[in-house]
Chain A
């Protein structure tokens, strides 16, 4: 819902260099209608869909991520911002496919067995998609079989696992150990995340990387994919 001050603001009258920061603010405030409007305006002005996505939406969400990390924003604000970004992405998605935006790789992601926390996982999925990855989201409460099946079927590059409970994080090791047993561990990049995890845990279970947040996940995935291509 917009307050009085925002009612006075007519987005379409703003030049690009004011509209984009305004969209960052609107995203921060979770204003989905304004985000949809802003996306339409930029497209009408001839912006490439990929530029709208990265410069207006992804950049705005990156700012939200920083303030969440620093304790300035909490979960509901992040959810509202993510909802607004989703609205913008819904407009852009079909256009991105047509305009041949970069495809960086394919990610299979899901929350592990016993755990149904999915806010962080959904955010990572959305930001990875925004960065140009194809994302297959397996949802919550995933046993090892569903991860392995999806990796194979989807011909994925990256496996992402999320856990928010101390009791469910060890299950990530079960998945990685099963991959080792089947001789497929090195066929994939394995990224893990969730608030109770840390770098040490990621190393101990044999993941390629632990990622603190969605922005780090995107950067890390890009790095691994670049390395993978250099090896080919």
Chain B
């Protein structure tokens, strides 16, 4: 039993479980919100708050495994008001590469895939953008992009092939960059002061 809860974006679930396995961690319980929320970032702060409030009584500490994700600082303010910590940085593309490294690169005309997005390209990019029904919209979405950069969390030949195929469909050149789990590991590491502290129950 643990009295620590991590509330995470569904797009991070597989990765968080893998990190736990790799590090032999079991200091927190994991609950996820639907990954689809990232298309509607304005709904994230309320969804996180609801889950925090629902679980407050059962858990001693709660950590929010979200970066800003396009909430324009609203999620950070909400977490602060609720007295819970969250992940630093603008979004998962940045913290997988490492927030500093990502910023230093200053890449503007690249479109990023993570393992999650490579796996779920159809469900999270192609279809929500309407490209299945209206392929003529492709130019309006991606006309200004040059490169698809696959930020790989794992060494997975099949996923790399999927990411490459996505680049072809979008008409972009392809680059694979192995990142591992980047800043997500330190964000969850119990040795880190702002990470989810283990509270045995």
> Which positions in A face B, CB cutoff 8 Å?
71, 74-77, 79-80, 114-116, 118-119, 140-141, 164-167, 169, 195-198, 201
Chain B 126-158 near chain A by CB (<8 Å), digits 1 or 0: 001111011001001100110000000000000
User: Quick one: CB contact mask for B96-108 with A, threshold 8 Å, 1 for yes?
Assistant: 0000000100101
Are the CB atoms of B70 and A166 closer together than 8 Å? yes
Chain B residues, Cβ within 8 Å of A71: 40
A79 near B140 with CB under 8 A, answer yes
Q: A74-B128, A75-B130, A141-B108 are in contact. Are A195 and B70 (CB under 8 A)?
A: yes
Question: When chains A and B are docked, how far (Å) is the Cα of A215 from the Cα of B41?
Answer: 21
Residues of chain B at interface, number, CB under 8 A = 28
Report whether B103 and A114 are in contact in the complex, using a CB–CB cutoff of 8 Å. no
Query: What 8 A-B pairs are tightest by C-beta distance, nearest first?
Result: A76-B130, A196-B72, A116-B144, A166-B68, A166-B90, A167-B90, A196-B70, A79-B137
User: By the criterion CB–CB under 8 Å, are A114 and B106 in contact?
Assistant: yes
By beta carbon, the residue of chain B nearest A201 is B72
Q: How far is the CA of A79 from the CA of B131 in the complex (A)?
A: 11
B interface list, Cβ under 8 A from A? 39-42, 68, 70-74, 90-91, 94, 103, 106, 108-109, 128-131, 133-134, 137, 140-141, 144-145
Question: What are some 17 contacts across the A-B interface (CB < 8 A)?
Answer: A71-B40, A75-B128, A76-B130, A76-B131, A76-B134, A76-B137, A79-B140, A115-B108, A116-B108, A116-B144, A119-B141, A164-B70, A166-B70, A166-B73, A195-B41, A195-B42, A196-B41
CA distance A115 to B144 in the complex (A): 11
In the complex, which residue of chain B has the Cβ closest to the Cβ of A122? B140
Give the residues in chain B near A167, CB-CB below 8 Å. Answer: 90, 94, 103
Task: Indicate if the CB atoms of A79 and B70 lie closer than 8 Å.
Answer: no
